Each structure stands twice: as structure tokens, then as C-alpha cells.
């Protein structure tokens, strides 16, 4: 059982970062209840495919009804943490902003997920992942020389800078509750998180070791021949990161370049030409052939795998990096724990027509649920 | 109705009898656990509140609830209240895996699931039916808020003898748990059987195994039905048991052989005053002869060994204190219990022949829940078409009608065409001074089909080497019985009620040694 077993979390259904944070907590064993709107099907499709919603149950509440609001209030009174991702002010207008919630449950950790943050001139504006990371220098910095910025999926804003920081913030605040007995608001903004993820680049920049021109830095993958992605004979790709001298020597040995007339590894002037030479060499064999020569060596090498290939790779299989739940392969909970091992994820429970089961885990007796239903807490009778 | 009149009926219910005791002697202690107690009037009132709450939630006679929790007064009250409402109870082992619990909950069609904090935590996030937290912890609706208000009266229900009382999931020494459906008539017959053991209002019975075990329930319901004081133990340990037995002047106790073994081995055993004991009962696993003799010699009061199954059928009883010459048997069929021996083709065998034991009595399961095929496999019908339950055990009746048990049919080893009974080999191994416990099981053999292998637990300070012990045993065994391998282990894997899990041993060692097992 995961390390967060016994922690109870209420999650307002949302998109991407909020559910991702809730998934991380549920993966670690927290008991999470997702609150949906009556009639909302989130997300569409079979529940076994709703991987971000895994390992938790759901209840549909009509927050336009007094009984629905009272139900949510009672849930928050019994919760350790709360996750909401509405625009600033929405929860306040429901009468469920941090102040009344923390007054009723002083230990509550009130987690708020937004792009811009709870304050600042842009706080009320709409936006999505690339808008937020555009504001942090992250989007500008990723891509090739002379080309427009490359969009790194929504990994940097929604998931890395957003959901992950919210989950981290919630766990930090939960630890602090043990000392102080007091909850607090966690304001997780994707702008803050993405900027935080850029700390190393800002540090290098301040030290004069980082060019603000896209594609001029080694980590861009577009400059040093020993750090980047190369196409292979079969139109696939391999990744090479032979930065240290001993690893670079291994790259030269296996590519057959060792002993020849070669420029110094750090001679920038020679890089463009040498890069072309390496590209030609990598194009001479298929990806699988390079794997046979380099995989597991000290070149610092890995084949660039598709999603399907990643799930089948022997290393990932050996470690159980992906697990199968109801026939759907998916990333396993991460990271790993030596003692309190997280359980295999379970299918998300859709908000059932009868919420009695899900609400009983939050202390609601069946007759109390029946009364709330009669008052319209769960929407009109379906 | 008076208690005697109730007991004289062909059929009645446990709940009625408890009510009658509450009317007769309201303040008499019914249940006691860790200093908390309920007298008969309080128990009766709590049962009413449970039954009324179940009815309020729409449960009808024949519906099912499950309980999975450590022993508590709440556990007992919910079970008994459900019985009053005619709602069947599935008591589930709290240390089952979350997947196992979910499977049993789904199989039994449970409408409410009563848990404690530990089970609730372990099963958090599994899809499920409404949960009630017996300990008012946050893992379900708190029991205190779920109960109907004090003074609530349930609608009376009329129950037929075949109405379901409980569904017991077998402890699974032989595979996937099966839900054994027991009717009210089953428990009523047990109440009547226990009147002969001297249970009554002056009896104090010590219940030291978990309440989900049929072994416990078989004495728990009769004891309360007959007005006894029931002292519950949350978790068994020999020292704690002896303290409680002495302090409460226990008169009765039903336990499994490993418990007797641990109690008799307790260093201070002889310092305890156990003179209040009238009868100890034992069952559910083989009871070594030497241990029975030790109990008879050093523990006051009688000792009755029972042989039977959760599925019911026939029960044998051995009053060991009356027949010390029959300790190698499990006794004679209880009054009204018809037991026979059949061969592999289902033909009845003459008395004295070895075969599978089948039985018929007032204590018979209705069947396995949702498993008509398995139910049919567990039944045998005699020439007159009367239904018997098959035991899966092999044995024979001696010339005096006492049953000598050989082995679980499934555990029997067939080596080169010979039937090898693990108990025989275990007895030889146990006779070695260095051996504390032994388990023998079959492993695949290219030459013989199957061969016996042993796992033994050595006594402290034992010096014998495994190979030497195997040779020592083989010198004393028949050719087909000879052990191909012997391993020394720290302990034997046991189910909660003390049965050695031979399947685990087979899985652990069978493949290792021969590479072709499973």
C-alpha cells in the first residue's frame, strides 16, 4: 500500500493538470473522490481509458442545489486536501473559497491549480499550456536553430510545471499540518512551475554559460555532435549523449572513428562538420543494428521509441515501468518505494447513478445519502 | 415462550433465544471484550437497532451483508442483528488480499459492507458497496450514526428453516474460496447439539479465534443461544488466553489444535487455576494423539474433539476424557448423524474399508453460492436418494464405530500406484526428538508419478542434519512412503485457523526440486 494511504482528497473534476496531480496522489495510495457535474461524462470514452482518473471514485453533485453544496461542504470537512482548477473566484462565488473551508476544517490543504496563478494582471484571463510556458522562457528556449520554438507537448506546463508542482505542494503542506495542525492554500500556477523547471537554464544564463539564442546550447541537441538525435538507415532515430571524455571515447570506438584524425571534443568550430559526419555514419545502419552495438554500453545511448515500442522494451518490461489495468497498458505509479509499495492502479469509478457506495467511504450512511438525493444533491433523478 | 419450550421446537432462531434470555435475566453478561461488556438486555436492544437500520436501508430477509474486521463487540452485534432481520452475513477474513475481498463481496451480492479501519484502509479505492465503519473510523459511515435510534424496533420477520443464516468463504487450503451457504436450520441443530455439552446461563466460554471462522461461530451462536457469558479475545496468545481463562473462571472453550499446542507449551501453564473448566472442544485440523493426551493429563475438565466440515454433513465427536483408548480416532458420529464410506466410483463400502467419508445430518449447507457444479461435486446420494455431503477426506470406521482419519483425499499421494497418506509419514517424523512439526506433500516424480517430500520445523537446539533426518525416517517407512526430499523450514504456512497450507509448500518446493511441478 502506497505511502499516502489514509490521506483523503476531494478533487473537482477538471482537465489535465488537476487530474494529473490527483492521479499522482491516488497512485501513492491517497483516497481521492472526484466531484463531477450531473450529466457530465468526464472524459468521454470507456472509463478504463481514463488513465488520469485512475484509482479513484466519483460522485456527481449539483452545486446549484443547497443539498449539493452541503454535501461538498461535508466532504471538505472530512478531507485532508482539496484540488480545484477553476478560474480564480469561482469557488469563492460558491461560498466554498479557502476562508470558509479552512474555518470549518482548519487542517484542510486547499490546492488551487491555474495557469497564471491566483493573482497578477493575467489571473482572470483564459489560457492554455503553451501560453503559460511562453511566459517563462521555456518555450523560447526549446527548438532548433533558425526554426520557430518547438512545442514540447503539454509536458512542461500542464504536467511538469502544473500538476506535479500541485501534488508536491499538497504533500509539503500535509507534512506541515503535522507540525502546526493548520492547513493552508497551495497556489500552483503553471507559470510558476514552468519557471521553476527552468532554474538550471537561468543559472547557466546568469553565469554567462547559456545563450539566449535558441539552438546555440549543447542541451538544445542541435550543436555538439555528441549530444543529439540521429536518423538511422530505416528512418528511425537514436539518442546520443556522450558528454564526458570517457563516454565520448566509447562513441568514437564503436562508430569506428577512434584513432583517426579528429578535432578536439570541445572544439566548437569543428562541430557542424563533425555532426554531418556522424549523421552519415548513423544513417549507415538501422536503429536495431545500432542498438546491438551500443545499447547497454557507456556511449550514453538509447533508441528513440514510439509509445507502443516503449511499452515493449525489455528494460521497461523488466522494471514494470508500464502496467496493464483491464487490458490497457499504462505508466505505473512513480516513483518507487521500498516498504510502502503502491498498489497496481485500479479502474476509475464513474460517478454512479447511486452514490451511496462512494459516499459511505466519506462517512455518509445510506439513509443520509437517500435524504440528500431527495433534496436534489445529485441532480434531477436519472 | 419459555427458553425450554423454544429449545423443544424443531426449528427456532438464535435471535429469539437471545431475546428470551434478555427477558429472563436482563443484567446477565452476554459479551465481554477488553473490559467492555454487554448484558443480555443491552445485546438484545443493540440487535434491534441493527435489524431496524438494515430494514430502514431496504434490506429484506435473504439479502446479504459482509463483515470484515477484527473481533469487536460491534462485529458481534451487527452479525446478531442481521440474523434477527433475516439478513445473511458473509464474514470475510480481514487479512484476505484486497482483490480477494472484492471478489467475495461481489460473489455474495453484498448490500452493505461492515469494516474496521485496517480493512477499510487496505481496500480504499476498490469499487464497492456502501461501507459502515464498525469502529467509527473514517473508512466508512460510522456505525454509531448508522444504527437506528435507541429503542428502535424492527419489523418482526418470520424465517423458514432453509432461510440463509450466513455465507462462509472456505479458508481455501485447496484453492479459490467458495461461499458456503448455511441455513438457519444448520445453526439451530448446532444449538441443540451444544445443550449436551453443558452450555447454559452458568457457563463462561472463551472465544479466542476470529469471528469469521466457522469454528468460532459454531460455538459462539450456541453459547449465546443458551444464555452463556461469552468472553471474546481480539487476538490469541497463549499467555493472554490463560490469564483470561483464570480471571473469568472459564468453563468452555473451542479451539484449533495449534492453540492447544501453544497453550500446553506455555512455560507457566501449570501455575494457572483452570479448575473451572468443564469442557474444551477442538476441531478443524488434525489433533496429534500426544497433544490430546497432554491436554487430558494437565488441563481439568473434559475434551471433545469434533470432526466435520464447514459444508456440514456428518459430525463425529470424540469425548477424549471418556475414551482415552480412542485418541487416534476422531470419535463416533454425533446422534442423528449418518456417516458412510464410499469408493472412488461412489459405491458404498462395508464398514471397516478405507474410502471417502460422506455424511448427512441436520447440519448441511444449502450449497456453494453461485457454484451449482461445485455443489453437485460435493454431494453424494444413497440408494434411497438421500443427500449426503462429501468430505474429501479418506478414512475408515474401526470395529467400535470410531472414525480413523487418514488424509485429505486431495493431499493423498499416489506413488507408483500405492496410496501414501501424509499423516502416516508426519507421525513418523514427529516421533524424532529433534522434530517439532512436519508436513508431507506430494511432488511430481518421473518414475513414480508422485513422491512424498517433507518440510519440518526443528525444535530449538536441534542438531540433526536434513539428510540424516530423511534417512532416519526412510528406515522407518514403507518403500512407497520414502521421502525423496526433506527441507528444514522456520515455520509451516498455516491458514488462520491453523491448517497447514500444503499447496503453498507444493508450489514453493515442488517446482524447485523437480523443475516440472505445477
Among B224, B179, B165, B228, which residue's Cα sits nearest to residue B202?
B228
Which of these three, B373, B408, B443, is where a domain ends?
A: B408
Q: What are phi and psi of A302, to 5 degrees?
A: -155, 145
Tens digit of pLDDT at every position of chain B (518 positions): 788 899 999 999 999 999 999 999 999 999 999 999 999 999 999 999 999 999 999 999 999 999 999 999 999 999 999 999 999 999 998 877 777 788 888 888 899 999 999 998 887 655 668 999 999 998 899 999 999 999 999 999 999 999 999 999 875 444 467 899 999 999 999 998 888 888 899 999 999 988 988 888 889 999 999 999 999 999 899 999 999 999 999 999 999 888 898 899 999 999 999 999 999 999 877 788 899 999 999 999 999 999 988 888 899 999 999 999 999 999 999 988 999 999 988 899 998 999 999 999 988 899 999 889 889 989 999 999 999 999 988 899 999 999 998 877 678 787 766 778 888 889 889 889 899 999 999 888 777 778 899 999 999 888 899 999 999 999 888 777 899 999 999 999 887 667 788 878 888 876 533 333 22
Structure-block grid coordinates of residue A253: 570506438
Contact A357 B128 (CB under 8 A): yes
Q: How far is the C-alpha of A232 from the C-alpha of B42, rounded, in Å?
A: 81
Nearest by CB to B142, which of A347, A363, A369?
A: A363
Q: What is the CATH number of the domain that holds B348?
A: 2.30.38.10
Q: In this structure, is residue B289 part of a structural domain?
A: no
State the residue for C-alpha cell 489535465. A16
Nearest by CB to B139, which of A57, A356, A361?
A: A361
Tally of domains in chain B: 3
Full residue range of the structural domain in which residue B145 is found: 9-182
The CATH topology of domain A8-197+322-374 is Rossmann fold (3.40.50)
Contact A357 B121 (CB under 8 A): no
Residues B56 and B101 in one domain: yes
DSSP state, residue A331: E
State the residue for C-alpha cell 571534443. A265
Q: Is A140 annotated in the active site?
A: no
Q: What are phi and psi of B131, to 5 degrees?
A: -115, 145
- Neighboring chain B residues of A369 at a CB cutoff of 8 Å: 130
Q: What is the CATH number of the domain that holds B44?
A: 3.40.50.980
| Residues constituting chain B | 518
Residues B462 and B487 in one domain: yes
Contact B141 A365 (CB under 8 A): yes
> CB contacts < 8 Å between A and B, how many?
66
Q: In this structure, is residue B177 part of a structural domain?
A: yes
Give the residue range(s) of CATH 3.40.50.10540 domains in chain A.
8-197+322-374
Q: Is A62 annotated in the active site?
A: no
Contact B138 A78 (CB under 8 A): yes
Q: How far is the C-alpha of A7 from the C-alpha of A78, rounded, in Å?
A: 10
Which of these three, B139, B159, B182, is where a domain ends?
A: B182
Structure-block grid coordinates of residue B437: 512439526
Residues B440 and B319 in one domain: no
Residues B348 and B483 in one domain: no
Best A54, A358, A360, A372 member to test B by mutation, with max B CBs in 10 Å, is: A360
Q: How far is the C-alpha of A224 from the C-alpha of A241, rounded, in Å?
A: 9
Q: In this structure, is residue B256 part of a structural domain?
A: no
CATH class of A218-231+237-303: alpha beta
Residues B368 and B450 in one domain: no
Contact A363 B140 (CB under 8 A): yes
Best A365, A367, A372 member to test B by mutation, with max B CBs in 10 Å, is: A365
Spot the catalytic one: A128, A140, A205, A313: A128
Which of these three, B378, B408, B438, is where a domain ends?
A: B408
Give the residue range(s) of CATH 3.30.1540.10 domains in chain A.
218-231+237-303
* Residue in chain B nearest A54 by alpha carbon: B125
Contacts of A178 (CB under 8 A, 6+ apart): none
Q: In this structure, is residue B442 part of a structural domain?
A: yes
Residues B402 and B430 in one domain: no
Q: How far is the C-alpha of A203 from the C-alpha of A209, rounded, in Å?
A: 9
Q: Are A350 and A47 in contact (CB under 8 A)?
A: yes
Q: In this structure, is residue B413 part of a structural domain?
A: no
Other Cβ atoms within 10 Å of B296 Cβ, number: 16
Other Cβ atoms within 10 Å of A210 Cβ, number: 18
Does the ipTM exceed 0.90?
A: no
Among B459, B470, B401, which residue's Cα sits nearest to residue B429?
B470
Residues B337 and B462 in one domain: no
Spot the catalytic one: A27, A80, A129, A158: A158
Residues B394 and B424 in one domain: no
The CA distances from residue A372 to A67, A358, B473, in Å, are: 6, 14, 70
Q: In this structure, is residue B231 part of a structural domain?
A: no
Q: In this structure, is residue B468 part of a structural domain?
A: yes
Q: In this structure, is residue B253 part of a structural domain?
A: no
Contact A57 B130 (CB under 8 A): no
Residues B399 and B432 in one domain: no
Q: What are phi and psi of B375, to 5 degrees?
A: -60, -45
Amino acid at each position: 500500500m502506497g505511502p499516502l494511504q489514509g490521506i483523503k482528497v476531494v478533487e473537482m473534476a477538471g482537465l489535465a493538470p488537476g487530474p494529473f496531480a490527483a492521479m499522482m496522489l491516488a497512485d501513492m495510495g491517497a483516497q481521492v473522490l472526484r466531484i463531477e457535474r450531473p450529466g457530465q461524462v468526464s472524459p468521454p470514452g470507456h472509463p478504463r481509458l481514463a488513465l488520469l482518473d485512475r484509482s479513484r471514485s466519483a460522485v456527481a453533485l449539483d452545486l446549484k442545489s443547497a443539498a449539493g453544496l452541503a454535501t461538498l461542504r461535508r466532504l471538505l470537512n472530512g478531507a485532508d486536501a482539496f484540488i480545484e482548477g477553476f478560474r480564480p473566484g469561482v469557488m469563492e462565488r460558491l461560498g466554498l473559497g479557502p476562508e470558509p473551508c479552512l474555518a470549518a476544517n482548519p487542517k484542510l490543504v486547499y490546492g488551487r491549480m491555474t495557469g497564471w496563478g491566483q493573482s497578477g494582471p493575467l489571473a482572470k484571463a483564459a489560457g492554455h499550456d503553451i501560453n503559460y510556458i511562453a511566459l517563462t522562457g521555456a518555450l523560447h528556449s526549446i527548438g532548433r536553430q533558425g526554426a520557430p520554438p518547438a512545442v514540447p507537448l503539454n509536458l512542461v506546463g500542464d504536467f511538469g510545471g502544473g500538476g506535479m508542482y500541485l501534488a508536491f505542494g499538497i504533500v509539503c503542506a500535509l507534512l506541515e499540518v503535522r507540525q502546526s495542525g493548520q492547513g493552508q492554500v497551495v497556489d500552483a500556477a503553471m507559470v510558476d512551475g514552468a519557471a521553476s523547471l527552468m532554474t538550471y537554464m537561468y543559472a547557466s544564463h546568469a553565469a554567462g554559460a547559456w545563450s539566449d539564442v535558441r539552438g546555440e546550447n549543447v542541451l538544445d541537441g542541435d550543436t555538439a555532435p555528441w549530444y543529439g538525435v540521429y536518423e538511422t538507415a530505416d528512418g528511425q532515430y537514436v539518442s546520443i549523449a556522450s558528454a564526458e571524455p570517457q563516454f565520448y571515447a566509447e562513441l568514437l570506438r564503436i562508430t569506428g572513428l577512434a584513432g583517426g584524425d579528429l578535432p578536439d571534443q570541445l572544439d566548437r568550430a569543428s562541430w557542424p562538420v563533425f555532426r554531418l559526419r556522424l549523421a552519415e555514419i548513423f544513417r549507415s545502419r538501422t536503429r536495431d543494428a545500432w542498438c546491438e552495438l551500443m545499447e547497454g554500453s557507456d556511449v550514453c545511448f538509447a533508441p528513440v521509441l514510439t509509445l507502443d515500442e516503449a511499452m515493449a522494451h525489455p528494460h521497461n518490461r523488466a522494471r514494470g515501468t508500464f502496467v496493464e489495468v483491464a487490458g490497457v497498458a499504462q505508466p505505473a505509479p512513480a516513483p518507487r518505494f521500498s516498504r510502502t509499495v503502491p498498489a497496481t492502479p485500479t479502474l476509475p469509478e464513474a460517478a454512479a447513478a447511486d452514490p451511496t457506495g462512494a459516499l459511505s467511504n466519506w462517512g455518509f450512511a445510506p439513509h443520509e445519502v437517500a435524504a440528500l438525493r431527495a433534496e436534489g444533491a445529485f441532480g434531477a433523478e436519472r | 415462550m419459555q427458553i425450554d419450550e423454544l429449545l423443544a421446537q424443531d426449528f427456532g432462531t438464535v435471535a429469539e433465544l437471545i431475546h428470551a434470555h434478555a427477558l429472563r435475566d436482563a443484567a446477565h453478561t452476554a459479551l465481554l471484550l477488553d473490559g467492555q461488556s454487554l448484558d443480555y438486555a443491552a445485546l438484545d436492544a443493540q440487535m434491534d437497532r441493527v435489524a431496524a437500520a438494515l430494514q430502514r436501508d431496504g434490506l429484506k430477509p435473504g439479502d446479504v451483508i459482509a463483515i470484515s474486521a477484527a473481533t469487536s463487540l460491534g462485529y458481534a452485534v451487527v452479525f446478531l442483528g442481521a440474523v434477527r432481520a433475516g439478513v445473511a452475513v458473509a464474514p470475510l477474513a480481514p487479512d484476505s488480499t484486497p482483490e480477494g475481498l472484492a471478489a467475495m463481496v461481489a460473489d455474495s451480492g453484498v448490500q452493505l459492507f461492515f469494516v474496521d479501519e485496517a480493512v477499510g484502509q487496505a481496500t480504499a479505492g476498490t469499487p464497492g458497496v456502501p461501507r459502515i465503519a464498525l469502529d467509527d473510523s473514517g473508512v466508512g459511515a460510522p456505525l454509531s450514526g448508522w444504527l437506528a435510534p435507541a429503542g428502535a424496533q424492527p419489523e418482526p420477520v418470520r424465517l423458514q428453516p432453509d432461510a440463509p443464516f450466513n455465507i462462509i468463504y472456505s479458508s481455501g487450503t485447496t484453492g479459490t474460496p467458495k461461499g458456503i451457504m448455511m441455513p438457519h436450520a444448520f445453526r439451530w441443530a448446532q444449538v441443540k447439539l451444544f445443550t449436551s455439552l453443558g452450555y447454559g446461563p452458568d457457563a463462561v466460554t472463551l472465544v479466542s479465534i476470529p469471528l469469521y471462522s466457522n469454528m468460532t461461530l459454531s460455538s459462539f451462536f450456541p453459547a449465546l443461544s443458551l444464555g452463556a457469558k461469552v468472553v471474546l479475545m481480539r487476538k490469541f496468545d497463549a499467555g493472554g488466553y490463560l490469564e483470561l481463562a483464570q480471571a473469568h473462571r472459564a468453563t468452555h472453550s473451542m479451539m484449533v489444535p495449534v492453540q492447544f499446542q501453544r497453550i500446553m507449551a506455555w512455560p507457566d501453564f501449570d501455575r494457572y487455576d483452570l479448575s473451572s473448566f468443564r469442557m474444551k472442544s477442538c476441531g478443524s485440523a488434525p489433533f496429534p494423539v500426544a497433544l490430546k493426551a497432554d491436554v487430558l493429563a494437565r488441563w481439568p475438565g473434559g475434551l471433545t474433539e469434533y470432526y466435520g466440515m464447514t459444508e456440514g454433513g456428518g459430525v463425529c465427536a470424540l469425548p477424549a476424557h471418556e475414551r482415552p483408548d480412542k485418541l487416534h480416532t476422531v470419535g463416533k458420529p454425533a446422534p442423528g448423524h449418518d456417516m458412510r464410506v464410499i469408493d472412488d466410483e461412489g459405491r458404498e463400502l462395508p464398514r471397516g474399508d478405507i474410502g471417502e467419508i460422506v455424511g448427512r445430518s441436520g447440519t448441511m449447507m444449502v450449497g456453494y453460492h453461485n457454484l451449482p457444479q461445485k455443489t453437485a461435486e460435493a454431494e453424494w446420494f444413497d440408494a434411497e436418494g438421500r443427500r449426503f455431503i462429501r468430505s474429501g477426506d479418506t478414512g475408515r470406521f474401526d470395529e467400535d464405530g470410531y472414525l480413523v482419519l487418514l488424509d485429505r483425499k486431495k493431499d493423498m499421494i499416489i506413488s507408483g500406484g500405492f496410496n501414501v497418506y501424509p499423516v502416516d509419514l508426519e507421525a513418523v517424523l514427529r516421533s524424532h526428538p529433534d522434530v517439532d512439526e512436519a508436513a508431507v506433500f506430494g511432488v511430481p516424480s518421473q518414475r513414480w508419478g508422485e513422491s512424498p517430500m517433507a518440510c519440518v520445523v526443528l525444535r530449538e537446539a536441534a542438531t540433526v542434519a536434513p539428510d540424516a533426518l530423511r534417512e532416519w525416517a526412510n528406515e522407518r517407512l514403507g518403500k512407497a512412503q520414502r521421502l525423496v526430499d526433506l527441507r528444514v523450514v522456520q515455520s509451516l504456512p498455516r491458514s488462520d485457523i491453523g491448517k497447514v497450507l500444503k499447496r503453498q509448500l507444493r508450489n514453493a518446493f515442488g517446482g524447485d526440486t523437480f523443475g516440472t511441478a505445477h
